[in-house]
Structure 1
Amino acid sequence: MNRHLRRERSAPSSLLSRSWVCTASLAFLASCARTGGSMSKPPDADKTLFLGKVLTMDDDMTVAEAVLVDERGHILEVGTEQAVRDGLGAGAQVVQLAAGQVLMPGFIDPHLHLLPTLLQSVLESHNLAPCLPGPYRIPTATACESRADVLSTLASIQLSPEAPKDEFVLGMNLDPSRQVFDPLKCGITAKEAASAKSFMDNPKFYIERCVSKDRPVLILDQSGHLAYVNQKAIDVVCAGQAACPPASVEQGGGEWAPSNKATSFTGLLKETSGYAPFMAAMQKSLPLAQLQSHPQEVLEAYQKEIKPGIQAMRDAGLTTIADGGLVGRPQLNAVKFLAEQEHFPMRVTGVVTYDSAKTDDIQPTGPACDPRQDARCRLPKWLGAGGLKLWVDGSTQGCTAKLSAPYSYSTKGHCADAGDGRADFDNMQAIVTALSEQWMTKSWRVQLHANGNDANQWAIDAFALLQQKAQNQHPVLFIHNTVGLEQLSKNLGDLRKGTYRATNGQTAPAVQAHVTHLIGHVAYWGHAFRGMLGEEAANNLDPVGFDRDQGIPFSFHSDSMVTPPRPLWFVEQAVTRRTWAYPSLQESGTLGLEKHAATVEEALRAITIEPARQHELDAWVGSIEQGKVADFVVLGDNPLDYGPTKKDPTLIHKIPVVETYLNGKPTSKNP
């Protein structure tokens, strides 16, 4: 980073007359004489002037030439170079962009999971994620080609011979929706494979053959909505339990998939509550697993290992991230602890699960100080936690998205038995009941995870009823909104306008509804969704065109660990709508390009000002405007120069990130 940026002292915007220079020099010498000869601070030495092409991302998409920032990181002026330089003292520091570079607001990822993302850096060979397509390939120590199929991937887990027999084996990011299933691996015979059926039918059998039968094994799916275990792990969890699975599994909307045998399980676990008992049991034998109960201690113990993950986000141009599902006060405090470290290079806002907010009596918070109210305030990196998170359904690629006509899972392939998927609640009214108490306070931003079209309709209907109870003026966020349908988006648009008729027959007051799409669904899973959901549903993934038609503001996110947090990749993927076939990783055309392709301008807004508005951060970040804070990214090329009739948009991911700034200070100076 920091390539070709020049720092210098400010110079006047035009040539000065000799008489003016002489007069100024005499005045300066007289000043020195009055202070006993000591040198006074040059005028405006506490200010920084950024010069070059500035994409402000304001409502008018203004392109400026200069930005002036004070020592607290407050933006004082934005405009032409001449106008901003006018009256500026010679002591100001100048950051001059090189030819071709642009200054933008720092990128924002509005939905990821920070702690699991950093955990990937620690697991190394136990990170089982499949390859990314060529344009987005991230070098790893392990050849990702060896992870093309499920069983070879499981067999790649390296077990320490010195480890105790009761110590859990933890793997993460297995993805059977993209990693093909070849049953004749790990010494499995054709007869055994025929009896065991597919991996999703009987993961327990395949884990025992490919990883271990003697040690408890827990494998987390990349979606975060599924997990897989062997019998030893089930025995550990069920030991001493009056009933198994524990009641908490069903209460949280989870499931242990039953086998044909009574009181036996296949090893497939659904939803977080389904695998939470295994995470709890694992903490007794594997310190790393204490990420759930003692996350701050884990972060402190693995500082060296997690640092590359943090730097990778900075190197992608991120200056603000939203952690979209913190479970209770321990995780909330851990992320706050991380953000407040001196050299942490990003701001963080937290979103807390609705049930843990009740259990731990968590109230919404903001940053410790506000530059709008206090001129001395340097905006903190920890922005507080003002959002609530609730899951309506599961994962589209995990076969647990809640679908309805005209969509359903195919009866062949990866999700053959999934039907219409599943929801985490019995019905829409149960969502209303779950959120009512917190909604009535009118103090929370509420964010609902909904992938399937039916899950999104439930969310619309729930918000319509809640808004009749109490009019909440905070933004509500539909996270993912993956499987698109034109009527669904119309309903969502009507909810925004205050014209939607709720299920009780009443018209709901307007809800400030926004959408954020996991645009990587198109690139990484689009081809697979053709087979799982059908061509129409695949073409309507992340339906930007429907959003546009209905005036629904949208952003793009990574949902990391699900996809890498790389905002320029989001831009390219939204503009090109390209998809790849697994395991060959051959490009497999485009999905819904004519209807749902974003313009580059729309996509840039979806990683800057729109996510800032969704999290009510737009008073400080998201655009470069007077009164906001100087969180910037410098790019080596202008993304607006790319598009169907301009530079090749499939090369947007190659635009270099030169530097990021927080409060006007370069983050590359942090060790």
Structure 2
Amino acid sequence: MRFLRFSAILISMIAAGPLRAAEPASLVLKNANVITLDEKRPAASAVAVRGETIVYVGDDAGAQAFLGPKTEVLDLAGKTVIPGFNDVHVHALPGGLFYLEPNLWGKSCEEIVAVVAEEVKKARPGEIITANSWDYPTCPNPHRKLLDPVSRQNPVVLTQFSGHACWVNSAMLKKLGYTAKTQDPEGGKIDRDPEGTPTGILRDKAAFPAQARALLLVKKEKREAALEEALRLFRENGITSVQDNTWDPRTLALLRQLQKEGRLTCRFTCWSYAGYSIGPQLMKLGRYDDPWIRPGPWKLYADGAFSTRTGWMTEAYAGEPDNFGLPMMTPARLAAFYLKAAKQKKQIAMHAIGDRAAHEVLNAVEKSAARYPQARQLRHRIEHAQIMLPEDIPRLARLGVVAAIQPFAASQPQKDLDILGPERARIAYPYRSLQDAGVPIALGSDLPAEVDFQPLLNIYYAVTRKNKAGDQGPLNPRECLTVEQALRAYTLGSAYAEFMEDKKGSIEVGKLADFAVLSADPLSVEPAAIKDVQVEITIVGGQVVSRQQ
């Protein structure tokens, strides 16, 4: 009877309101429109945080129990709070360098040469000149002969928009040892004049040595400045976690240094590049600190990109009847990597742009799962998945493969029509088909391979499939995601891709206190206006790391 009486009293207390917190919160958000993405409690007006952890989600009245003399209280006056964005695919160090170096986007070949000439004036003889994001629509005929007159004493490496090609001068070709007699590497191509001399355009694995040399020679001070620039961009845009193509243990060491100094304002999952056997071994030597800096999957490449016409396709590119793209690995080598990963219980993040590339990747996953059934639990990822055979889409779901997509790639509908032709362009970027088939999808930017990286702009592209101005597209509106689907993929979906859905991706008690405060509710505004919604406050680990005026 006493037990029953005590139970009745306890139930009446709970019904009357929340129990007073044993310990006050360090931060309380109130008077907010909280989109939790928690199916059990999809909306709230208040959140309480203790340290790095959410301790309360509910109404403003319930949050009163968590107030103390040192609690920071943010009255958000009805502003919208969402889980912090988790960018599923970035290159943070090159991304920071992208914003510190000349941006060649939209420039003609002549304008690019003028930029290089100015950079040479500021450089020491022999110093490598780097710049980013030239592309063929505005510079259709890049050639080493254009660069040579202004850069005879300085090697030049200009990375193409996709990151899968570069334009170099004769000095850089000499450093690489590329001559008319040099054979194309497996998975790469050296463009040549009719007489066989390299033109200065290097594609995929032929470009990697030039890009790697330029990156490896970046001094520590510039690497630190680049990472700090990337962190600034992340926090100002509500990005609280990134899944990063780190590859280099020196970058990992810099992240640890920034963390110790209290300057790391974003969580990192750090990938290794498994194309070289030493890559994963080097990253194993690094020191991690979960949940701020965590080890991630092996990164590999199955093919190239659309804009360089090296994505591996089942049908030829428009206007190039003999060009089906460029596989970076044979099917046998793909199968060997997935068998090795299954044996070691290691996740693979496989770059696959073309439909043939994705098909061969799925064949390899299937073979590994037949021998090692646990392979289906590894959450292997196809990065980009820009075009797929329709029959392959349900295979992703059956094999437990995550589609890590970047809607920024779909931001130029006319360009896709020119490269792929009208029929295939209309089935490219099959986002809704993936969603409807039950494939786990996660959103990201591929910074700096795409010129933009802002999450709300990315959601706009996923939802509208138009260009930024809104006057091109949509290509196949049936593949548009809803705003809620895109937002969920950018948060919970990305957390799932890195095995962190129990810690990140929704606003729930017990999860990490990572939030973005927005100027408007993206679920309520018109789709065309999503890109204009501003991130006003970013909170990581319960700390305000960015506050926009």
TM over 0.5: yes
User: 1:88: Cα distance to partner?
Assistant: 4.1
**Cα 1:531–1:340 shift into 2, 3 Å:** farther
User: 1:206: Cα distance to partner?
Assistant: 3.2
Deviations 1:535-568 (A, max 9, x none): 2222222211211221112122110002222111
Distance in 1, matches of 2:42 and 2:309, equals 44
**Cα 1:365–1:457 shift into 2, 3 Å:** farther
User: 1:621: Cα distance to partner?
Assistant: 1.1
Does the 8 Å CA contact 1:402/1:453 hold for their aligned counterparts? yes
Give the one of 326, 342, 345 matched to 2:246: 326
**Cα 1:161–1:660 shift into 2, 3 Å:** closer
**Cα 1:82–1:515 shift into 2, 3 Å:** same
* Mapped pair 1:431 → 2:334: yes
User: 1:163: Cα distance to partner?
Assistant: 4.3
**Which is further off, 661-670 or 394-403?**
661-670
Q: What is the match of residue 129 of structure 1?
A: 105
Does the 8 Å CA contact 1:409/1:533 hold for their aligned counterparts? yes
Distance in 2, matches of 1:94 and 1:159, equals 48
Count of residue pairs the alignment pairs up? 526
Q: What is the match of residue 285 of structure 1?
A: none
| 1:260-299 correspondence to structure 2 within 5 Å | 260-262=194-196, 264-271=197-204, 273-279=205-211, 289=214, 291-292=215-216, 296=220, 298-299=222-223
Q: What is the match of residue 171 of structure 2?
A: 232
Give the one of 405, 409, 417 matched to 2:317: 409
Q: What is the match of residue 482 of structure 1?
A: 386
Distance in 2, matches of 1:658 and 1:354, equals 39
Distance in 2, matches of 1:512 and 1:552, equals 7
User: 1:214: Cα distance to partner?
Assistant: 5.4
Distance in 2, matches of 1:613 and 1:279, equals 31
Does the 8 Å CA contact 1:43/1:90 hold for their aligned counterparts? no
Amino acid at match of 2:47: V
User: 1:238: Cα distance to partner?
Assistant: 2.1
Does the 8 Å CA contact 2:33/2:44 hold for their aligned counterparts? yes
Distance in 2, matches of 1:326 and 1:629, equals 23
Does the 8 Å CA contact 1:168/1:215 hold for their aligned counterparts? yes
Distance in 2, matches of 1:616 and 1:295, equals 34
User: 1:571: Cα distance to partner?
Assistant: 1.1
Secondary structure of 1:667's counterpart equals strand
* Mapped pair 1:156 → 2:96: no
Give the one of 27, 30, 45 matched to 1:48: 27
Distance in 1, matches of 2:103 and 2:430, equals 31
User: 1:235: Cα distance to partner?
Assistant: 2.1
Give the one of 545, 551, 565 matched to 2:438: 551
Q: What is the match of residue 463 of structure 1?
A: 365
**Cα 1:127–1:410 shift into 2, 3 Å:** same
User: 1:65: Cα distance to partner?
Assistant: 2.2
State the Cα RMSD in Å. 3.1
Distance in 1, matches of 2:391 and 2:323, equals 22
Give the one of 301, 311, 317 matched to 2:232: 311
Deviations 1:569-611 (A, max 9, x none): 111111111126xxxx782231111x11111100110211100
| 1:148-297 correspondence to structure 2 within 5 Å | 149-157=108-116, 158-161=118-121, 163-176=123-136, 178-181=137-140, 198-199=141-142, 203-208=143-148, 211-213=150-152, 215-238=154-177, 245=182, 250=185, 253-262=187-196, 264-271=197-204, 273-279=205-211, 289=214, 291-292=215-216, 296=220
User: 1:315: Cα distance to partner?
Assistant: 1.0
**Cα 1:561–1:418 shift into 2, 3 Å:** farther
User: 1:351: Cα distance to partner?
Assistant: 1.4
Distance in 2, matches of 1:397 and 1:321, equals 25
Amino acid at match of 1:547: L
Distance in 2, matches of 1:234 and 1:417, equals 30
Deviations 1:40-65 (A, max 9, x none): xx984454322222111124561112
Distance in 2, matches of 1:381 and 1:512, equals 26
Q: What is the match of residue 188 of structure 1?
A: none
Amino acid at match of 2:147: I
Deviations 1:474-517 (A, max 9, x none): 21111100024422213323xx2xxxxxxxxxxxxxx3211121
**Cα 1:295–1:478 shift into 2, 3 Å:** farther
Amino acid at match of 2:416: F
* Mapped pair 1:390 → 2:369: no
User: 1:368: Cα distance to partner?
Assistant: 5.6
Amino acid at match of 1:650: A
Does the 8 Å CA contact 1:366/1:386 hold for their aligned counterparts? no
Does the 8 Å CA contact 2:359/2:388 hold for their aligned counterparts? no
Does the 8 Å CA contact 1:296/1:331 hold for their aligned counterparts? no
Amino acid at match of 1:388: W
User: 1:153: Cα distance to partner?
Assistant: 2.9
**Cα 1:180–1:160 shift into 2, 3 Å:** closer
5+ unaligned residues in a row in structure 1: which ranges?
1-41, 131-146, 182-197, 283-288, 370-378, 497-510, 643-647
Give the one of 559, 570, 575 matched to 2:463: 575
Distance in 2, matches of 1:244 and 1:329, equals 35
Deviations 1:130-166 (A, max 9, x none): 3xxxxxxxxxxxxxxxx2x333233333144474543
Q: Look at both structures and tell me which one has the larger radius of gyration over its CA atoms.
A: 1
Amino acid at match of 1:396: F
Deviations 1:594-631 (A, max 9, x none): x1111110011021110011011212111111111111
Counting aligned pairs with the same residue, the percent is 24
Deviations 1:203-227 (A, max 9, x none): 2233336x44554322111211101
Give the one of 78, 88, 97 matched to 1:119: 97
Distance in 1, matches of 2:247 and 2:242, equals 17
Does the 8 Å CA contact 2:87/2:494 hold for their aligned counterparts? yes
Secondary structure of 2:309's counterpart equals coil
* Mapped pair 1:662 → 2:549: no
Amino acid at match of 1:592: N
Secondary structure of 1:532's counterpart equals helix
Does the 8 Å CA contact 2:247/2:271 hold for their aligned counterparts? no
5+ unaligned residues in a row in structure 2: which ranges?
1-20
